[in-house]
């Protein structure tokens, strides 16, 4: 896990690369790679790569980056892990390739030499990398199927810059800070900035599962090579396709295979452990996969003691069940206030979540860990969110009336003045008023279920021109709908696709990245794996209720304790509402209201504008 940067002067009139700019971008990401740093600049100063290294596989200097091929024709800078690199290496050696190192980085060079851009379809892992092909004078960039690892770029006309962080691109001083209204509007709608947008007009995220090529004086458009929706469509289930026993076996074997691959490392691999099924099952599967001493850790909060939100007692029971070396780490309001400036500095793009990831990564770093396994992705894969029942139900019930032109909007406009007199704790009002307007389609229903604000609520938060331009550029409903192309055939698959490609990608995975990298920690997510999805997609589409999570809970040889399986879902929560609010309003202000407050505070810092009054 690392930080990568690059500058490519692809236009004839573009100035040569400035070494100082490259180093400023690279060293802004020092915590992403404290184990080493490197740079490569072409003889004509037209191309430059930089790298910060966190050594996980092949700890020797032979794996340092940027790395050149033996013949000097290819240069790579790479962030991530390729979990099937040993298999790929064996195949390449059989084809005549010879290796000088023992890690996964060199495999990328040989794989590109053998297969070109098609190499990405052979990779299993989390990755963002760039390869400079000296003979063809071509830059090739790629990002993993789910978008676990970030990759941002800025094309200023003649020069393309890329980096693992938005703020690293800005640190070089050559990229404009002109705001992107679509990114700002997207943050208010979702609580995170939806890719490919960022807060800045000139900076874009390379979309997940895409490649990008720069050659012959031009920057190509991102080319997709992977689609979650397509995987679900191809795995359309058939009646009687799998008995419960068969389904359990398929899921267990696929999960165990993913966990085995994600344990590949030359340093110890720990695990985050909550009281939930996802992380607990992974720890049990780590034990089944042959992991030796497993260091687990759980966050605790004084505010949650004696309440269902307190995950530490059940997490300790799971740790005893699987014989791990367990640590319970308490986070206080005082520590939160002390860390807040560093949190905001590390938060590459504003997000209403991520504070939990910050503190669990901090705790892992304190224990000396460089790698930890996380249960992110379990709810998206096994239908653990309320959206799996709510969204299809709304669409079924509202599809017909919502087709009456203007009816939903007219009803909402007639009743929305009532919100001015609603108590602050009545947070469902705006969404309830918009059910008919949005609930009849999957994109609209998903916006209702996951939205922080709705489009018609944005005017008090931003100036009107920015709202209109942002909504036009973002196209919220169309952007959600794009994730469902091609359209999966089942309601489960449609919601799973949306949750994976939107909420998980833009918020959970991104938060996991910036928070962990701020503490020089690599977080691995075995439940977010393209091969795993392909193996269980047909089975998963037949799931209903909590069936999928029970299959997950029973996947380890020693299943999770009943108390964990039967526990009501609370999520990986922290008492941010109390920490950023005040005790006088704690009894009446809803969690949703606090979330909106927190979003407005973040926006005031990120957008450089005052916090607006409550709607």
pLDDT digits (tens, 9 = 90+) for 120-170: 999 999 999 999 999 999 999 999 999 999 999 999 989 999 999 999 999
Helix (H, G, I), strand (E, B) or coil at 411: helix
Question: How much of the chain exceeds pLDDT 70, in percent?
Answer: 93
Condensed to tens digits (0 to 9), the pLDDT of residues 74-113 reads 999 999 999 999 999 999 999 999 999 999 999 999 999 9
Tokens 């299993």 belong to residue: 124
pLDDT tens digits along 514-552: 999 999 999 999 999 999 999 999 999 988 778 899 999
Mean pLDDT of the chain: 91
Domains of the chain: 2-226 (3.60.20.10), 244-383+490-564 (3.40.50.620), 388-482 (no CATH)
478 vs 130, 390, 458, 485, CA distance in Å? 30, 20, 18, 11
Give the C-alpha separation, 360 to 367, whole Å. 11
pLDDT greater than 50 at residue 302: yes
Residue 300 φ/ψ, nearest 5 degrees = -130, 155
Per-residue pLDDT reduced to its tens digit, 378-429: 999 999 999 999 999 999 999 888 788 877 787 777 777 766 665 554 445 6
With 90 as the cut, is the pLDDT of residue 51 above it?
yes
The sheet with strand 203-205 has its strands ordered as 36-41, 47-53, 2-9, 159-163, 152-155, 203-205
The model's pTM is 0.94
H or E segment and range at residue 580 = helix 576-580
- Whether the CB-CB separation of 213 and 220 falls below 8 Å is answered with yes
DSSP, res 332: -
Q: What is the pLDDT of residues 306-323, one digit of tens each?
A: 787 889 999 999 999 999
413 contact partners, CB below 8 Å, separation of at least 6: none
């Amino acid at each position: 896990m690392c930080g990568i940067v690059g500058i490519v002067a692809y236009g004839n009139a573009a100035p040569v690369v400035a070494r100082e700019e490259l180093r400023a971008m690279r060293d802004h990401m020092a915590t992403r790679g404290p184990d080493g740093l490197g740079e490569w600049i072409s003889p004509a100063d037209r191309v430059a790569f930089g790298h910060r290294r966190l050594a996980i596989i092949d700890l020797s200097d032979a794996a340092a980056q940027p790395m050149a091929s033996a013949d000097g024709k290819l240069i790579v800078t790479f962030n991530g892990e390729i979990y099937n690199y040993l298999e790929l290496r064996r195949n390449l050696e059989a084809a005549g390739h010879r290796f000088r190192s023992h890690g996964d980085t060199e495999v990328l060079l040989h794989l590109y030499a053998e297969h070109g851009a098609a190499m990405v379809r052979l990779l299993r892992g989390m990755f963002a990398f760039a390869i400079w092909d000296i003979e063809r004078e071509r830059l090739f960039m790629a990002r993993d199927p789910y978008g676990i690892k970030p990759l941002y770029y800025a094309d200023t006309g003649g020069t393309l810059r890329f980096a693992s962080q938005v703020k690293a691109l800005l640190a070089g001083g050559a990229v404009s800070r002109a705001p992107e209204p679509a990114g700002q509007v997207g943050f208010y709608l979702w609580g995170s900035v939806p890719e490919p947008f960022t807060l800045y007009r000139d900076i874009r995220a390379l979309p997940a599962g895409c490649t990008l090529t720069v050659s012959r004086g031009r920057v190509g458009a991102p080319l997709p090579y992977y689609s979650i929706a397509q995987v679900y469509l191809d795995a359309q289930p058939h009646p009687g396709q799998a008995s419960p026993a068969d389904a359990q076996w398929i899921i267990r074997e696929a999960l165990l295979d993913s966990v085995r691959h994600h344990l590949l490392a030359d340093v110890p691999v720990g695990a985050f452990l909550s009281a939930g099924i996802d992380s607990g099952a992974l720890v049990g599967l780590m034990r089944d996969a042959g992991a030796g001493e497993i260091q687990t850790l759980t966050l605790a909060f004084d505010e949650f003691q004696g309440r269902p939100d307190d995950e530490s007692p059940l997490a300790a029971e799971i740790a005893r069940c699987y014989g791990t070396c367990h640590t319970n780490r308490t986070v206080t309001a005082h520590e939160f206030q002390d860390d807040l400036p560093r949190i905001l500095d590390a938060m590459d793009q504003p997000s209403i979540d991520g504070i939990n990831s910050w503190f669990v990564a901090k705790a892992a770093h304190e224990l000396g860990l460089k790698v930890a396994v996380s249960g992110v992705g379990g709810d998206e894969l096994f239908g653990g969110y309320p959206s799996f029942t709510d969204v299809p139900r709304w669409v079924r019930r509202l599809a017909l009336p919502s087709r009456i032109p203007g009816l939903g909007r007219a009803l909402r406009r007639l009743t929305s003045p009532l919100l001015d007199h609603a108590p602050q704790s009545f947070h469902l009002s705006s969404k309830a008023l918009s059910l008919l307007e949005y609930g009849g389609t999957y994109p609209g229903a998903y916006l209702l279920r996951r939205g922080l604000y709705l489009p018609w609520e944005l005017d008090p938060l931003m100036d009107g021109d920015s709202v209109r331009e942002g909504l036009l550029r973002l196209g919220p409903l169309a952007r959600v709908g794009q994730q469902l192309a091609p359209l999966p055939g089942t309601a489960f698959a449609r919601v799973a696709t949306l949750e994976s490609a939107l909420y998980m990608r833009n918020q959970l995975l991104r938060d996991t990245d910036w928070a962990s990298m701020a503490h020089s920690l690599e977080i691995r997510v075995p439940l977010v794996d393209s091969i795993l999805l392909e193996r269980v997609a047909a089975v998963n589409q037949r799931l209903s209720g909590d069936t999928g999570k029970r299959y997950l809970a029973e996947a380890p040889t020693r299943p999770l304790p009943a108390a964990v399986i039967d526990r009501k879902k609370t999520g990986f929560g922290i008492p941010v509402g109390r920490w950023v609010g005040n005790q006088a309003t704690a009894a009446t202000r809803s969690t949703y209201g606090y979330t909106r407050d927190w979003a407005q505070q973040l926006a005031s810092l990120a957008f450089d504008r005052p916090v607006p009054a409550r709607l």
